[in-house]
């Protein structure tokens, strides 16, 4: 398999748990809220609008929002504390699924976003720029003490999976599952937003959002800079809960998840198959793990979650050594090509899923603060749902109403009694 995108920007990436719809942290309370057919954004609809908007947070949600706002004609400043895609948006798996959120409140958002990913890929040369490609997705059971050769349908399991794999099942096709390299996707979108649509990137920590008479007025940075704007979008991922004005309305917390990235000596043997594993370690508790080969031949493996306080500085997030070791065990058992000596470790890392108490993202205007919007809580589906979230928030801010997706069930007002 050839390398299809530049590795110069490459930095690691990451998982989830079992199958749709039983995967525990992808379970949603089944509040179906509507259904709308996704429409491509028409950036010529508002040629004269020069609304000034500040977007806080340079993860996939903030960057997608900045991109679609600027494409609609807004003057956008993006404020990021550390570096673009330095947190979950740079370390995620980048797995995309059309229909795995069906039956829950995220269904329409996910379907619209999967399709937007496809059109963005055409617009931005996704296969070359950020490793966009379709995948076949398998569910596999793996027991460490089991027979060392795969059992089950030989035609389902590709030859590089030469460990004790059982019960293989195809759970996604090239029509319904795909992938991006999340860090490259986020950076490509931001670079385009800067170069083509004039987005300004400011590095600085948002300390406070100033509100005057129930309306947003400015954003104050930790170093004292004040940036005025009548519209502010807060997309701070698991750090959103650290802003007092939001913490008093709803809770956003982080769930730490680990990942490793391996470069096998023989990358050509690794086929585009994503794996969702039910893994039974010898003498340990059953766990879920995900394995995502990339077009470069790299293989990303994630799993091992833990509830932990989110550190203030995203650059200080490091993996727990025992969790990293476990992921290496998973790698070795999935394939001899991923064992130590046969592959090089390119990253050992961890990052935080942004979670809400009802497992539903929070997207909409903050109650009682005109012009202040929030977009967060995407849990394990933020890379998938970034584009439709960004497009919908752009419509909400500029037009006063989102049409690409009905945002009513994501409104932060649901937390206000």
The site for ligand FAD (CB under 6 A) is made up of 14-15, 56-62, 79-82, 86-89, 92-95, 205-206, 235-239, 257, 259, 302, 314, 351, 353-354, 376, 378-384
Q: How far is the CB of 149 from ligand FAD (least distance, A)?
A: 29
Q: How far is the CB of 119 from ligand FAD (least distance, A)?
A: 17
Least separation in angstroms between residue 146's CB and ligand FAD is: 26
Which lies closer to ligand FAD via its Cβ, residue 193 or residue 383?
383
CB closer to ligand FAD, 82 vs 143: 82
CB of 138 to ligand FAD, least distance (A): 15
Give the shortest CB-310-to-ligand FAD separation in angstroms: 9
* Nearer Cβ to ligand FAD (302/360): 302
CB of 189 to ligand FAD, least distance (A): 12
Q: How far apart are CA 256 and CA 45, in angstroms?
A: 41
Q: How far is the CB of 315 from ligand FAD (least distance, A)?
A: 9
The closest alpha carbon to 366, from 222, 195, 252, 226, belongs to 252
Q: How far is the CB of 211 from ligand FAD (least distance, A)?
A: 17
Closest to ligand FAD by CB, 121 vs 150, is: 121
| Closer residue to ligand FAD (CB): 338 or 351 | 351
Complex with ligand FAD: residue 332 or 378, whichever CB lies closer: 378
Residue closer to ligand FAD by CB (options 139, 379) is: 379
Q: How many CA atoms within 13 Å lie on the side-chain side of 249?
A: 18
Nearer to ligand FAD, 116 or 353 (CB): 353
């Amino acid at each position: 398999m050839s390398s299809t995108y530049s590795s110069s920007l490459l930095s690691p990436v990451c998982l989830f748990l079992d199958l749709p719809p039983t995967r525990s942290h992808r379970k949603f309370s089944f509040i179906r809220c509507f259904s709308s057919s996704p429409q491509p954004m028409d950036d010529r609809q508002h040629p004269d609008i020069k609304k000034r908007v500040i977007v806080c947070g340079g993860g996939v949600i903030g960057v997608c929002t900045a991109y679609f706002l600027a494409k609609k004609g807004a003057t956008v400043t993006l404020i990021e504390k550390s570096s673009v895609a330095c947190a979950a948006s740079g370390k995620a798996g980048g797995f995309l699924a059309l229909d795995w959120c069906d039956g829950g409140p995220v269904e329409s958002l996910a379907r619209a976003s999967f399709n937007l990913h496809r059109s963005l890929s055409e617009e931005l040369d996704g296969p070359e720029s950020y490793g966009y490609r379709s995948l076949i997705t398998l569910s596999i059971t793996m027991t460490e003490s089991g027979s060392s050769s795969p059992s089950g349908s030989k035609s389902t399991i590709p030859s590089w999976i030469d460990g004790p794999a059982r019960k293989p099942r195809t759970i996604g096709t090239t029509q319904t599952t795909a992938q991006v390299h999340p860090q490259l996707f986020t950076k490509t979108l931001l670079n385009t937003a800067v170069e083509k649509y004039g987005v300004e990137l400011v590095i600085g920590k948002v300390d406070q959002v100033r509100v005057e008479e129930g309306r947003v007025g400015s954003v104050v940075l930790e170093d004292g800079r004040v940036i005025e704007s009548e519209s502010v979008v807060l997309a701070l991922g698991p750090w959103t809960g650290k802003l007092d004005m939001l913490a008093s309305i709803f809770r956003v917390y982080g769930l730490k998840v680990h990942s490793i990235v391996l470069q096998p000596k023989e990358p050509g043997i690794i086929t585009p198959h994503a794996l969702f594993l039910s893994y039974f370690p010898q003498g340990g508790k059953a766990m879920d793990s995900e394995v995502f080969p990339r077009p470069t031949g790299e293989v990303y493996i994630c799993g091992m979650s833990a509830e932990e306080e989110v550190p203030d500085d995203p650059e200080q997030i490091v993996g727990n050594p025992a969790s990293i070791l476990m992921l290496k065990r998973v790698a070795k058992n999935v394939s001899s090509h991923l064992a130590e000596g046969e592959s090089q470790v390119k990253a050992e890392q961890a990052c935080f899923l942004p979670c809400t108490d009802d497992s539903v993202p929070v997207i909409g205007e903050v109650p009682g603060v005109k012009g202040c919007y929030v977009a967060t809580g995407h849990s394990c589906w933020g890379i998938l749902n970034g584009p439709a979230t960004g497009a919908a928030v752009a419509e909400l801010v500029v037009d006063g109403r989102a049409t690409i997706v009905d945002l009513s069930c994501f409104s932060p007002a649901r937390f206000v009694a």
